[in-house]
């Protein structure tokens, strides 16, 4: 990962660690509403590649009245290059998790699950239309991941290996 001031301006704007952290926080908080144990680390790696990419986010938003597994089955285009997107987003995910941890809004449990701390992040989703859509997609993903429960099921449905 390049130092912040050495990154292209586009990368700094698109993958701002504070915003990526907020997206992850929304997903983890939604996950915790259903499963209080917290989100497994392996699931957190899928949030940014699904929520930040416009086409994936729009498919998820159009189908948000369905279950995630059905949405993925109905839209196999979500699987195209998804593994590579996860690999590309991995450093940004780690950086965002680091920001969340450093400001005290996330903790890692002894069992490796990620939990949120309610102080410091507004519950209200705000921002531009696109940032709100990204956060809403993350909330949906967090809830669906908790309902599914198994990382292996989600990974295999998306056509990647953990």
What residues make up the domain containing 26?
4-157
Domain count, the chain: 1
Per-residue pLDDT reduced to its tens digit, 50-95: 999 999 999 988 876 789 889 988 999 988 899 999 999 999 999 9
**What's this model's pTM, rounded to 2 decimal places?**
0.90
Residue 48 lies in a domain: yes
Residue 146 lies in a domain: yes
Angle CA(87)–CA(109)–CA(28) in degrees, nearest 5? 55
Mean predicted confidence (pLDDT) in 1-12: 71
Which position has the token pair 């998804």? 82
Give me the residues paired with residue 108 across strands.
Answer: 114
Residue 162 lies in a domain: no
**Residue 130: which residues within 8 A CB-CB, separation 6 or more?**
none
pLDDT grade for 145, boundaries at 50, 70 and 90: very high
Beta strands in 14-160 (DSSP E): 39-40, 106-108, 113-116
Per-residue pLDDT reduced to its tens digit, 26-61: 999 999 999 999 999 999 999 999 999 999 999 988
Cβ atoms 113, 37 nearer than 8 A: yes
Cβ atoms 94, 21 nearer than 8 A: no
Residue 125 lies in a domain: yes
Give the residue among 40, 10, 13, 43 at the shortest CA–CA distance from 131: 13
Q: What is the pLDDT of residue 128?
A: 86
> Is residue 152's pLDDT more than 70?
yes
Q: What is the dihedral of CA 33, 103, 40, 153, to 10 degrees?
A: 80
């Amino acid at each position: 990962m390049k130092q912040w001031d050495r990154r292209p301006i586009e990368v700094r704007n698109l993958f701002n660690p504070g915003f990526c952290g907020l997206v992850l926080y929304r997903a983890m908080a939604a996950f915790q509403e259903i499963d209080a144990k917290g989100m497994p680390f392996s699931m957190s790696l899928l949030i940014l590649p699904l929520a930040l990419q416009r086409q994936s986010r729009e498919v998820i938003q159009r189908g948000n009245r369905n279950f995630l597994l059905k949405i993925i089955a109905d839209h196999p285009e979500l699987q195209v290059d998804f593994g590579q997107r996860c690999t590309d987003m991995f450093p940004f995910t780690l950086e965002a998790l680091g920001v969340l941890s450093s400001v005290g809004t996330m903790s890692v449990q002894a069992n490796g699950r990620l939990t949120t701390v309610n102080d410091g992040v507004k519950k209200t989703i705000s921002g531009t239309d696109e940032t709100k859509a990204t956060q809403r997609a993350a909330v949906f993903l967090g809830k669906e991941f908790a309902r599914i429960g198994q990382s292996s099921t989600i990974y295999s449905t998306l056509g990647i290996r953990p």
